[in-house]
C-alpha cells in the first residue's frame, strides 16, 4: 500500500498491524469470491468467511478476558477493522461486527447473567451471531427507525412491550431491518416497559435465537448488502429471565444511545471502506483504458474526478478516526454521552456515507458501461453503499443529531 493510502495519526502500532492483517485477509478471502456473494442465498460462502474471521478472534474481541474474550474496548481499532472489511464487502463487514454491537450493552453494564450465559458460547471456536434489534415497522403510531433512534423522543415511539411477570420478562412486538436477523443465536432487543415513562421505560433485553414465541418473516430481497441478512421479527409472549435486561431503568437508555453513537462512527468507517474499494477499482481501470492514445486518468477531466474522489475518501477517513479517538479519550474530549460526541459521530457517518455515494457514482461514470456490469466490482460497491447512507435513522436524523452539538435542537 502506498504511503498515502492510510492516515496513521490516530493509530497505535497494534492498530497498524491489525490494519495490515485485515487488508491481507480481504485480498485473500473476500476478493476472489466477491462476485459470487450476491448469488450466495444460502450464505455458504459468507458463512465460511465469517468462520475464518471467528478463527482470527473477531467474534470474541470485545468480550471480557475472564470469558476467553479479547477485552478490546478501542473504537479506533474497531473502526479500522470495519473499513478494511468493507473494502472487500460491506455486507460481510456488517454481519461480522454486529455481534459485538449486540453485546456491548451487557459488557458495559457488567451484566453477569448475560455474560455467563453467552460468554462461553461466543468466545468459543464456532461461529455464533448476534443481532441488535431496534427498528420497528413504521405506521400511523410511529415506531420507525427515525423516531426510535431520535433522542428527543425519549423512547415514546417504541411499541415492542416488555412486562415483568414474576422472575421473567414477557415480550410482545415486532422488529424490522435488524442486521443478522433470522440467523442469530442471540438478540438484544430494544423494548419499552411503559411508553409514557420516557427514558426510564427503555429496556434492552437479551433473547436466545431459539426462544419460544420468537418467529421470523422472509428475508428481504435487497438491492445490495447481501452478506447481511434482514427479516421481520415477531415476539409473541417471549419469556426470558429478568436478569437478561442489560442494566435497568435509565441506564438502558444510556446504553442504547451509546450504541447508536458508536454505530455512527463505525458506519463512517464502513462507508469509507466501500468508497475505497470502488476508487481502487476505477483507478486501476483508468490507468489501463486507453482513450485518444493515452490512459483515461491522464485526461484532465478524469484526473479532476479522481482527485475529488480521493479528497472525499481521505477527509472522511481522517474525521471518522478523529471521532473514534475522541470517544476513546473522554478524559480529554468530554463525556461520550454528550450531545457534542453524538454530533461528532453523526458528522462522521453523514459525511462518509455521502462520500461513498459520490465516489461510487463517479466511478460508474468513469468506467461507463463496464462499471455497470457485474464482471467488474464497481456496480456492487454502488449498490451496497446506498443503504449505509439510509440506515440508523436516515441521513436527515443524522443531520438533526449534528445540530444537537451546537444548539438545543428538539426535532
- Give the burial class of 56: count Cβ atoms within 10 A of its Cβ; 0-12 exposed, 13-18 middle, 19 or more buried: middle
Task: State the pTM of this model.
Answer: 0.95
- 226 and 316 part of one domain: no
**What is the arithmetic mean of pLDDT over 361-367?**
96
**Inside any domain, residue 1:** no
Tell me the percentage of the chain whose pLDDT exceeds 90: 88
Q: Does 379 lie in the same domain as 257?
A: yes
Name the domain boundary from 71, 89, 122. Answer: 122
Look at residue 368 in the predicted model and tell me its pLDDT.
92
- Which residues span the domain enclosing 295? 252-404
45 and 179 fall within a common domain: no
CA 385 – CA 396 distance, rounded (Å): 17
Residues 301 and 256 in one domain: yes
Q: Are residues 399 and 272 both part of a single domain? A: yes
Q: Buried b vs exposed e over 68-81: b needs ≥16 C-beta within 10 Å?
A: ebbebebbbbbbbb
Decide which of 69, 95, 122 is a domain's last residue.
122
State the Cα–Cα distance between residues 242 and 239, nearest whole angstrom: 9
Looking up residue 384, the CATH number of its domain turns out to be 1.20.140.10
Q: What is the pLDDT of residues 287-304, one digit of tens each?
A: 999 899 999 999 999 999
**Ordered alpha helix ranges (H), 163-299:** 251-288
The pLDDT tens digits of the residues spanning 312-349 come to: 999 999 999 999 999 999 999 999 999 999 999 999 99
- Please identify which residue in the block is written with the cell numbers 434489534: 133
- Is residue 154 a part of any domain in this protein? yes
pLDDT greater than 70 at residue 2: no
Range in 68-77, 133-142, 302-311, 402-411 with the lowest mean pLDDT:
133-142
Residues 259, 400 within the same domain = yes
Lowest model confidence (mean pLDDT) among 9-18, 86-95, 131-140, 330-339: 131-140
- Give me the pLDDT at residue 403, please: 96
Q: How far is CA 62 from CA 14, 69, 346, in A?
A: 16, 6, 23
Residue 46 grid coordinates: 459468507
Q: Specify the number of domains making up the chain.
A: 3
Q: Do the beta carbons of residue 180 and residue 127 sit within 8 Å?
A: no
Do residues 242 and 169 lie in contact, with contact meaning Cβ atoms separated by under 8 Å?
yes
Whether 265 is in a domain gets the answer yes
Together in a domain, 108 and 195: no
Which one of 233, 249, 265 terminates a domain?
A: 249
DSSP 3-state of 205:
strand
Amino acid at each position: 500500500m502506498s504511503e498515502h493510502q492510510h492516515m496513521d495519526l490516530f493509530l497505535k502500532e497494534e492498530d497498524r498491524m491489525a490494519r495490515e492483517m485485515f487488508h491481507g485477509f480481504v485480498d485473500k478471502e473476500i476478493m476472489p469470491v466477491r462476485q459470487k456473494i450476491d448469488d450466495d442465498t444460502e450464505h455458504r460462502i459468507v458463512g465460511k468467511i465469517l468462520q475464518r474471521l471467528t478463527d482470527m478472534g473477531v467474534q470474541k474481541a470485545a468480550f471480557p478476558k475472564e470469558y476467553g474474550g479479547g477485552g478490546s474496548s478501542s473504537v479506533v481499532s474497531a473502526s479500522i477493522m470495519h473499513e478494511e472489511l468493507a473494502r472487500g464487502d460491506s455486507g460481510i463487514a456488517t454481519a461480522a461486527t454486529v455481534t459485538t454491537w449486540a453485546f456491548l450493552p451487557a459488557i458495559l453494564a457488567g451484566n453477569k447473567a448475560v455474560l455467563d450465559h453467552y460468554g462461553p458460547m461466543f468466545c468459543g471456536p464456532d461461529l455464533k451471531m448476534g443481532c441488535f434489534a431496534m427498528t420497528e415497522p413504521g405506521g400511523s403510531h410511529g415506531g420507525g427507525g427515525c423516531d426510535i433512534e431520535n433522542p428527543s423522543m425519549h423512547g415514546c415511539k417504541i411499541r415492542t412491550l416488555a412486562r415483568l411477570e414474576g422472575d421473567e420478562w414477557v415480550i410482545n412486538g415486532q422488529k424490522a431491518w435488524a442486521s443478522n436477523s433470522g440467523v442469530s443465536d442471540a438478540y438484544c432487543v430494544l423494548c419499552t416497559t411503559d411508553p409514557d415513562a420516557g427514558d426510564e421505560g427503555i429496556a434492552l433485553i437479551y433473547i436466545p435465537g431459539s426462544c419460544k414465541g420468537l418467529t421470523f418473516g422472509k428475508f428481504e430481497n435487497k438491492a445490495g448488502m447481501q452478506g447481511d441478512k434482514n427479516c421481520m421479527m415477531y415476539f409473541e409472549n417471549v419469556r426470558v429471565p429478568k436478569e437478561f435486561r442489560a442494566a435497568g431503568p435509565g441506564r438502558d437508555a444510556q446504553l442504547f444511545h451509546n450504541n447508536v453513537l458508536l454505530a455512527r462512527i463505525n458506519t463512517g468507517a464502513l462507508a469509507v471502506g466501500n468508497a475505497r474499494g470502488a476508487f481502487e477499482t476505477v483507478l486501476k481501470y483508468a490507468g489501463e483504458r486507453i482513450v485518444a492514445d493515452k490512459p483515461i486518468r491522464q485526461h484532465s477531466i478524469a484526473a479532476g474526478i479522481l482527485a475529488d474522489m480521493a479528497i472525499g475518501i481521505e477527509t472522511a477517513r481522517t474525521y471518522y478516526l478523529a471521532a473514534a479517538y475522541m470517544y476513546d479519550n473522554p478524559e480529554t474530549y468530554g463525556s461520550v454521552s454528550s450531545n457534542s460526541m453524538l454530533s461528532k459521530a453523526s458528522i462522521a457517518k453523514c459525511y462518509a456515507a455521502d462520500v461513498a455515494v459520490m465516489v461510487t457514482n463517479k466511478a460508474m461514470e468513469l468506467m461507463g458501461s463496464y462499471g455497470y456490469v457485474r464482471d467488474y466490482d464497481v456496480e456492487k460497491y454502488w449498490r451496497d453503499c446506498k443503504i449505509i447512507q439510509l440506515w440508523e435513522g436516515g441521513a436527515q436524523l443524522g443531520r438533526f443529531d449534528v445540530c444537537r452539538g451546537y444548539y438545543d435542537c428538539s426535532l
